[in-house]
Every structure is written in C-alpha cells, then in structure tokens.
Amino acid sequence: MRADWRLIAVALAVGAFVIAAVLIWNRSRIWKRIRTIETQLSKMQNEITAVLQVQAALITRLNVNSKVETDPGSGAVEIGGNVAGQTMSPAAAPAQHESAKSAKLPE
C-alpha cells in the first residue's frame, strides 16, 4: 500500500513539473512575440513620424507658394486659376430674410 502512495506522489510531482514547464515555455513564447510586435510598432511609429514631417513641410511650402483668390459673385474659391471648391452662403442670411418677411405681414 505504501508503494501505491509513493507512486501517486511521484506521478503528482512529475505532473506538476510538466505543467510548470509548459506554462513557463508558453510565457517565454508570449514575451518573445510581444517584443517582436513592440519592435515592429516602434519602426512603424518612426516611419509615420517621418511621413508627417514631410507632409508638414509640403503643406508649409504649398501655403507659401499658393495664391488664393476669391470671387464673391460666383461663390467659388480659385487657386491659381483652378476652381478648388464652392463656398457656402452664411447660415444667418436666410434666417434674417425670413424674419424680415414675417415682420412685414399684416396682423
């Protein structure tokens, strides 16, 4: 009967060792993956920073070199002779116009 208890104790010890080894191995794999991902993210962050710096320089150069002309009659904004976009009329103008109509109505 004592041999059975010893066998059970050895089996439990071996099982605990195997479980601990598997957990440690998985943890080391996870840490390795995390370090790889952090390295890749750091490289990507550096590339994005470089692109943003180039973009800021290009925008600054574009703003210095561009000449903006507005034509109030057509409502278009022209940059160097090309129509860039349509401007919207102010929201306050129609509201004032409607209030003026309502003020003129007879009671």
Express each pLDDT in 17-68 by its tens digit. 999 999 999 999 999 999 999 999 999 999 999 999 999 999 999 988 876 5
Question: pLDDT > 90: what percent of the chain?
Answer: 50
> What pLDDT was estimated at residue 47?
97
| φ, ψ at 76 (rounded to 5°) | -105, 150
Beta bridge partners of 82: 79
Average pLDDT for the chain:
77
The full set of domain ranges for the chain reads 1-65
Residue type for position 45: Q
Q: Cβ contacts of residue 71 below 8 Å, gap of 6+?
A: 77, 78
pTM attached to this predicted model: 0.45
Q: What angle do CA 33, 34, 36 make, to 5 degrees?
A: 65
pLDDT range class, residue 82, cuts 50, 70, 90: very low
